[in-house]
Amino acid sequence: MTPPTAPRQPLHILAFDTSTEKLALGLHTPAGEHSRLTGGGALASAALLPQVQGLLAEAGLAMADLDAIAFGRGPGAFTGLRTSCAVAQGLGLGLALPLLPLDSLLIVAEDARVQAGLASGEVAVAMDARMDEVYAGRYRWQGGVWQVMQEPALLSLAALAEAWAGSSVDVLAGSALAAFGKRLAVPACGQRFEQEDDRAGALLRLAVRAAQAGEGVDAAAALPLYLRDRVALTTREREAARVAAGAAGA
């Protein structure tokens, strides 16, 4: 199936991201832009569609007026990514619109770029992934375009220290900076930002660029980026592990 193609000059672009504890939404229109940042996490599955409808109503638009839909594909919280992807796919299929999967770490990099006033240079992102792990990625902003220098990865603190050893960046950003403090080995940097200033605005800027570049994909190809496949063992798996450990120690 040939994926629908976003118009070169899309008029109305909806964007949302539920990969963190915050629900970020943005809407681009010829008359202006609208954005919201509200509670996400466990609330995202119930709140996303009502928030989308509220944002459209604020702009005087209906779902049928949209030209493209962008969503944060991850990495991030499993439930949040599943919610974001499911809603994007449903709307994309129902409205026959192109979908724009966005790197959720790049949202953080874009926000940090604006905070830093960065004209060109490299941004490293480290987000708290819980369980003493970090979602990490590196990006270069040059000529008004983002380039991926290090694909998003799920790393232990030791693995991150090894991956970033001896390196330097212009900007360092992400929730892991505050979450892990001195335990987090980070590259030398010119500026660092532990907090995001305008996540919804950063999301919307990425969405508009992606839509204008014609990056739309079919709903079937709009998949979440899961970096942590398993976060818990079933009862049977735990028992099998206990038995195996007992046999090994016998």
Q: Which residues of 145-182 are buried (b: 16+ CB within 10 A; e: fewer)?
A: ebeeebebbbbebeebeeebeeeebbbbbbbbbebbee
State the Cα–Cα distance between residues 115 and 175, nearest whole angstrom: 15
Domain match, 95 and 204 both: yes
Write out pLDDT tens, residues 217-243.
999 889 999 998 644 444 454 455 454
Select from 150, 177, 193 the last residue of a domain. Answer: 193
Write out pLDDT tens, residues 64-73.
999 999 999 9
Looking up tokens 């118009």 gives 7
Q: What is residue 40's predicted lDDT score, i.e. its pLDDT?
A: 77
Q: What is residue 22's predicted lDDT score, i.e. its pLDDT?
A: 92
Domain match, 206 and 85 both: yes
Q: In the predicted model, is pLDDT for residue 182 greater than 50?
A: yes
Estimate to the nearest angstrom the gap between the alpha carbon of 59 and the chain centroid.
Answer: 24
The whole domain housing 20 covers 13-103+198-221
**Domain count for the chain:** 2
Domain match, 109 and 175 both: yes
Q: Measured on CA atoms in the order 146, 150, 155, 160, is the torsion positive or negative?
A: negative
If pLDDT is split at 50, 70 and 90, which confidence band does 192 have? very high
Q: Is residue 247 part of a domain?
A: no
Write out pLDDT tens, residues 99-133.
999 999 999 999 999 999 999 999 999 999 999 99
Domain match, 110 and 96 both: no
Domain match, 57 and 83 both: yes
Q: What is residue 173's predicted lDDT score, i.e. its pLDDT?
A: 98
- The tokens for 46 are 């119930």
Q: Is residue 177 part of a domain?
A: yes
Domain match, 84 and 206 both: yes
Q: In the predicted model, is pLDDT for residue 56 greater than 80?
A: yes
Q: What is residue 248's predicted lDDT score, i.e. its pLDDT?
A: 39
Domain match, 173 and 214 both: no
Domain match, 112 and 189 both: yes
Name, in order, each residue with C-beta under 8 angstroms of 42's C-beta and a sequence gap of 6 or more: 79
Q: What is residue 250's predicted lDDT score, i.e. its pLDDT?
A: 43
Q: In the predicted model, is pLDDT for residue 9 greater than 90?
A: no
Query: The domain spanning residue 117 has which CATH number?
Result: 3.30.420.40
Q: In the predicted model, is pLDDT for residue 27 greater than 70?
A: yes
Domain match, 92 and 202 both: yes
Domain match, 50 and 77 both: yes
Q: Is residue 239 part of a domain?
A: no
Q: What is residue 41's predicted lDDT score, i.e. its pLDDT?
A: 74
Domain match, 188 and 116 both: yes
Q: Are 11 and 208 in contact (CB under 8 A)?
A: no
CA nearest neighbour of 98 among 195, 197, 180, 6: 6
Phi, psi of 123 (to 5 degrees): -120, 130
CA nearest neighbour of 152 among 164, 172, 178, 134: 134
Instruction: Please tell me the pTM assigned to this model.
Output: 0.87
Q: In the predicted model, is pLDDT for residue 34 greater than 80?
A: yes
Q: Is residue 185 part of a domain?
A: yes
Q: Is residue 6 part of a domain?
A: no
Q: Is residue 131 part of a domain?
A: yes
Q: In the predicted model, is pLDDT for residue 247 greater than 50?
A: no
Q: Is residue 68 part of a domain?
A: yes
Q: Are 125 and 184 in contact (CB under 8 A)?
A: no
Select from 193, 209, 231 the last residue of a domain. Answer: 193
Give 162's Cβ-side CA count (13 Å radius).
5
Q: In the predicted model, is pLDDT for residue 29 greater than 90?
A: yes
Q: Is residue 135 part of a domain?
A: yes
Specify which residues 133 forms β-bridges with.
156
Write out pLDDT tens, residues 199-211.
999 999 999 999 9
Domain match, 97 and 216 both: yes
